[in-house]
Amino acid sequence: MSSLRIEGLGKSFDDLEVLRDLDLSVEPGEFAAVIGPSGSGKSTLFNLVSGLDEPTTGRVLVQGGPASVESGKVAYMPQKDLLFPWRTILDNTALGLEAQGTGKKEARARADALFADFGLDGFQKAYPAQLSGGMRQRASLLRTVVLERPVLLLDEPFGALDSLTRTDMQLWLAGMWQRHRWTVVLVTHDIREAVLLADAVHVLSPRPATVVGRIEVPLPRPRGAEDFTTPEFAATERRILEALKGTTAVASP
């Protein structure tokens, strides 16, 4: 059974059609990337998958059941870290668990157990203003992961970081996924990021968006910075770029 299955999905807001007949499937333990032109409806797609909004047509299934906030099957990490400045990093990372009814002591213990894995050990009592941008994003991802939900939605998590920090975070996330094998759907505008991280890249058309190609990433895992300069990496980037431009057939063989 697919972790995420989207069938014939359409979404309109009054006369504005954002998504049309969109199909997408993600298997358990798969890292999927979604890339498309600006304004093509990627954030709308995430709102539908997380159950924050309802489709106009079609359906979204998470582990075989309808997408809904109440299902507790999807964890959503937005673009901004949204850490509360008055709470410590430990309290921030435990917040999602507390919001869903976990006692404060247990929530803090469960979050604290992940600090070393996320490179944050020793910063439990720090405040967000004391952390670098990359560390804040790691804390935000920890807050998402600790919920232990079957599907993780990552909405351009590194888009606001400078180029060097962004690359460091992409490589860090590639290593973390290799260890944990989460089921991830990543929205990104960064083709290189998509190729480094994903098993498959779903390319969206301009609005009203539909999937115009699913491109398999042929690079073996684990992946690292050395992969950036390989012919296979460059060829996959080129296929995605061509799909975005609509210049070639893009279905994977």
- Quote the CA–CA distance of 183 and 174 in Å, as a whole number: 13
**What are the structural domain ranges in the chain?**
1-73+150-253, 85-148
Over residues 56-107, the pLDDT tens digits come to: 999 999 988 888 777 788 998 888 888 999 999 999 999 999 998 999 999 9
Q: Which amino acid is at 104?
A: K
Lookup: tokens for 75: 């964890």
Distances (CA, A) of 240 to 51, 88, 189: 29, 41, 11
Over residues 117-171, the pLDDT tens digits come to: 999 999 999 999 999 999 999 999 999 999 989 999 999 888 878 888 889 999 9
- Look up the CATH superfamily of 1-73+150-253: P-loop containing nucleotide triphosphate hydrolases (3.40.50.300)
Closest CA to 91 of 82, 104, 79: 104
> Rounded to an integer, what is the distance from CA 159 to the centroid of its chain?
12
Lookup: tokens for 163: 């180029």
Closest CA to 102 of 147, 45, 54: 147
Contact of 128 with 83, CB cutoff 8 Å: yes
pTM of the model: 0.90
Closest CA to 179 of 14, 31, 46, 39: 31
